[in-house]
């Protein structure tokens, strides 16, 4: 027994699924699709490499990503989604199933017909009724006839048989995020007047017939159905939670082997899995399902990233399997670290939803926390022993610098990290302290670096500012220098304005070095300015006005989180002037010109400049002739965000 098994006894307890036994109660969720594959639905080498990593995560059940079951592609929701409608796809699925089972896990193949969100290559989608799209990037709908409904059910059954022939132990059908199964179940998208619409019993008919067809096609193999515990679609007239659970009852009544409880649609106007949702927030849905269906397996993992929390839920009987996806994208070693009692080393999923943001832009998904995700097939992304051991100095203990230092140390280099602050974390620490979503998630990134620096023996020289004079004092002591000193506020852009000397620096405010007054103007409606504005309003009850030159705020925020800032601004009563320019600052406030050319004086005690960040290019210029190798990473090159800092720091570290 490994040391972590005693601390997490319920998580590492063997369990059954149908006639199969899983070595633990952890189910890897399909996590939608990766978008790594061919436009024709064939599996790519990039995907095979990713699935080799997933197969080795240590999960007792591993679900392969969703494949569409119809030859027309009406079920295809993503440009590079897998297909399983023909035997020519079998060899690839055989390879994946064999790899999963070789690791001792139960292999499940998900069948994903995107319904309302499908038909990505066709220019139309299919759904039960002609309900217009609420999101403009989806395609206009065609209503399914009864013959098409029956054909669709048969296609799912054929896909299930094909999955079993490929070596999978069972199959899964999903309604998660508003796919076809959800379209029939929900009264928002199902407004039919025949036997497939109207009452809840009729709306559930498609699901019941689908389950029955798959069970008949693969009678010896378990079937999992992912169903909403909450649609979050009240705005559009979607199902209530009670209706969601009545639909689960219908699935149980027709013999489904496991219900995976999910939350939300793509069109839902509120968050379900983002970092603004407290971990454990949705546990009540799983607990309700387990109370209602004590004899049916329940899997759950929505916004439940911590193995310790999952073990406690299993102990309390809230569900039978911890269904985990994104935390294993962030750290594929999560289960092994839990088993070996090394949870302090885990890279936590911080719920930034970079994965979904990219999927919704038809791109392959990546992870903020895991730079190697999607690059498993590329040797350049692997940490390998260095051919020549070097002494490396890293300037800046933020994400870019620490990622580089950790990767380089693992390669065998001797690394020293310098930072002028008294602790590591850089501007991320300040950003986290002002974040209204989950400061703990962002601070977990810093805590991970603290743990790994100690375990790897990385020397940290804090309270040390590296400049030209310092570099001359250490000439020839280091073989390489990495400038990862982050960004700073670019005051030069406003230097010509009357009263520019009165402007407060956004980073000084974020770090707590400067305390603004009670009436505040924030110049800049990007993520830095919005985070400061929201924090001042929420935590200090300040009167805040945001002045932004663009027509919209949150221009540099991930697509999946823009709405959240807009909602906070509205909820907190923060005034936003878009298309506006700062003209002057004095002791009475700020003068601005709006989009119509009208000048206005905004009363303020403090005016904070958050409109532009400048990189640390001056260090790169100063050190050019002082060291053999000089590199830059993260905001020191171009101010952007956490994902780019982590990615660039890691990539530099694995090749130094």
Helix (H) or strand (E) segment spanning residue 76: none
- For residue 128, pLDDT beyond 90: yes
pTM, entire model: 0.95
Q: Which of the four CATH numbers 3.20.20.70, 3.40.50.2300, 1.20.120.10, 3.40.190.120 does domain 3-359 have?
A: 3.20.20.70
Q: Which tens digits make up the pLDDT trace of 341-386?
A: 999 999 999 988 888 888 888 899 999 999 999 999 999 999 999 9
Q: What is the pLDDT of residue 457?
A: 98
- Residue 572: what are its φ and ψ, rounded to 5°? -85, -10
User: Reduced to 3 states, what is the DSSP secondary structure of residue 127?
Assistant: strand
- For residue 80, pLDDT beyond 90: yes
Q: Which CATH class is domain 384-487+615-653?
A: alpha beta
Rounded-to-integer distance, Cα 581 and Cα 589, Å: 14
User: Reduced to 3 states, what is the DSSP secondary structure of residue 164?
Assistant: helix
- For residue 287, pLDDT beyond 90: yes
Q: Which tens digits make up the pLDDT trace of 576-608?
A: 999 999 999 999 999 999 999 999 999 999 999
State the average pLDDT over residues 290-296: 98
Mean pLDDT of the chain: 96
**Which CATH superfamily includes the segment(s) 489-613?**
FAD/NAD(P)-binding domain (3.50.50.60)
Q: What is the pLDDT of residue 274?
A: 85
DSSP 345: G
Report in angstroms the alpha-carbon separations of 520 from 222, 429, 517, 540, 576: 59, 22, 6, 11, 12
State the average pLDDT over residues 80-94: 98
Residue 103 has which token pair? 């690791």
Report in angstroms the alpha-carbon separations of 296 from 208, 292, 537: 16, 9, 47
Report which of 585, 603, 506, 592 is spatially closest to residue 548, judged by C-alpha positions.
592
Composition of the chain by helix, strand, coil, percent to 5: 35, 20, 45
DSSP 139: P
Report in angstroms the alpha-carbon separations of 96 from 48, 102, 110, 214, 577: 7, 10, 13, 21, 53
User: Reduced to 3 states, what is the DSSP secondary structure of residue 504?
Assistant: strand
- For residue 270, pLDDT beyond 90: no
Rounded-to-integer distance, Cα 472 and Cα 457, Å: 26
Q: What is the pLDDT of residue 360?
A: 81
State the average pLDDT over residues 494-523: 96
What string of DSSP letters covers 98-151? HHHHHTTPEEEEEE---GGG--TTTT-EEESS----SSTTSPPEEEPPHHHHHH
Which residue ranges does the chain devote to CATH 3.40.50.720? 384-487+615-653
State the average pLDDT over residues 433-462: 96
Which residue ranges does the chain devote to CATH 3.50.50.60? 489-613
State the average pLDDT over residues 418-424: 97
Helix (H) or strand (E) segment spanning residue 209: helix 205-217
Contact 108, 172 (CB under 8 A): yes
- For residue 466, pLDDT beyond 90: yes
- Residue 164: what are its φ and ψ, rounded to 5°? -65, -40
Rounded-to-integer distance, Cα 367 and Cα 354, Å: 6
Q: What is the pLDDT of residue 382?
A: 95
Mean pLDDT is lowest, of 27-31, 227-231, 354-358, 579-583, for 354-358
Which residue ranges does the chain devote to CATH 3.20.20.70? 3-359
């Amino acid at each position: 027994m490994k040391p972590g098994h005693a601390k997490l006894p319920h998580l590492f307890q063997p369990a059954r699924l149908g006639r199969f036994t899983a070595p633990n109660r952890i189910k890897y969720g399909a996590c939608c699709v990766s978008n790594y594959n061919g436009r024709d639905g064939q599996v790519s080498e990039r995907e095979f490499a990713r699935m080799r990593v997933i197969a080795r995560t240590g999960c007792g059940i591993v679900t392969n990503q969703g494949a569409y079951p119809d030859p027309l592609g009406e079920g295809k929701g993503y440009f590079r989604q897998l297909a399983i409608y023909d035997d020519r796809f079998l060899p690839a699925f055989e390879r994946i199933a064999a790899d999963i089972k070789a690791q001792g896990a139960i292999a499940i193949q998900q069948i994903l017909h995107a319904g309302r969100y499908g038909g990505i290559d066709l220019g139309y989608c299919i759904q039960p009724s002609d309900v217009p799209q609420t999101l403009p990037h989806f395609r206009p709908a065609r209503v399914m006839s009864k013959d098409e409904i029956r054909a669709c059910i048969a296609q799912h059954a054929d896909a299930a048989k094909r999955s079993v022939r490929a070596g999978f132990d069972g199959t899964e059908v999903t309604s998660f995020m508003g796919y076809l199964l959800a379209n029939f179940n929900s009264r928002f998208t199902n407004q039919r007047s025949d036997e497939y619409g109207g009452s809840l019993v009729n709306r559930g008919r498609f699901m019941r017939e689908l389950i029955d067809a798959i069970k008949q096609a693969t009678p010896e193999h378990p079937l999992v159905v992912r169903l909403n515990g909450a649609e979050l679609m009240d705005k559009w007239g979607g199902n209530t939670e009670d209706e969601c659970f009545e639909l689960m009852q219908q699935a149980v009544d027709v013999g489904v082997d496991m219900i995976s409880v999910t939350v939300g649609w793509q069109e839902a106007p509120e968050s379900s899995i983002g970092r603004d949702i407290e971990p454990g927030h949705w546990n009540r849905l799983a607990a309700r399902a387990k109370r209602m269906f004590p004899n049916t397996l329940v899997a759950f993992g929505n916004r439940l990233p911590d193995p310790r929390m999952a073990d406690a839920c299993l102990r309390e009987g809230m569900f039978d399997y911890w269904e985990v996806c994104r935390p294993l994208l962030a750290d594929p070693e999560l289960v092994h670290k839990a088993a070996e009692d090394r949870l302090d080393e885990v890279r936590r999923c911080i719920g930034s939803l970079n994965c979904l943001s990219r999927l919704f832009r038809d791109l392959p998904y990546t992870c903020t926390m895991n730079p190697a995700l999607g690059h498993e097939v590329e040797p350049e992304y692997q940490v390998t022993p260095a051919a020549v051991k070097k002494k490396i100095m890293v300037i800046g203990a933020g994400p870019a610098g620490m990622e580089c230092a950790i990767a380089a140390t693992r390669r065998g280099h001797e690394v020293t990290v310098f930072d002028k602050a008294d602790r590591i974390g850089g501007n991320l620490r300040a950003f986290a302290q002002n974040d209204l979503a989950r400061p703990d998630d962002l601070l977990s990134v810093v805590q991970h670096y603290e743990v790994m620096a100690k375990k790897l023996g990385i020397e940290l020289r804090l309270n040390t500012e590296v400049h030209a004079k310092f570099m001359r004092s250490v000439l020839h002591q280091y073989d390489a220098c990495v400038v990862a000193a982050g960004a700073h506020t670019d005051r030069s852009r406003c230097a010509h304005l009357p009263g520019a000397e009165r402007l407060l620096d956004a980073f000084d405010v974020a770090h707590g070095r400067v305390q603004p007054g009670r009436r505040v103007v924030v110049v800049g409606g990007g993520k830095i300015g919005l985070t400061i504005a929201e924090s001042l309003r929420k935590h200090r009850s300040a009167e805040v006005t945001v002045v932004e030159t663009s027509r919209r705020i949150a221009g540099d925020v991930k697509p999946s989180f823009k709405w959240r800032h807009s909602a906070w601004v509205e909820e907190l009563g923060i005034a936003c002037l878009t298309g506006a320019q700062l003209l002057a600052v004095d002791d009475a406030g700020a003068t601005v010109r709006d989009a119509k050319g009208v000048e206005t004086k905004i009363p303020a005690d403090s005016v904070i400049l958050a409109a532009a960040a400048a990189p640390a290019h001056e260090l790169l210029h100063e050190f050019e002739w002082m060291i053999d190798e000089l590199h830059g990473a993260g905001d020191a090159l171009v101010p952007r965000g956490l994902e780019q800092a982590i990615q660039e720091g890691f990539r530099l570290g694995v090749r130094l």
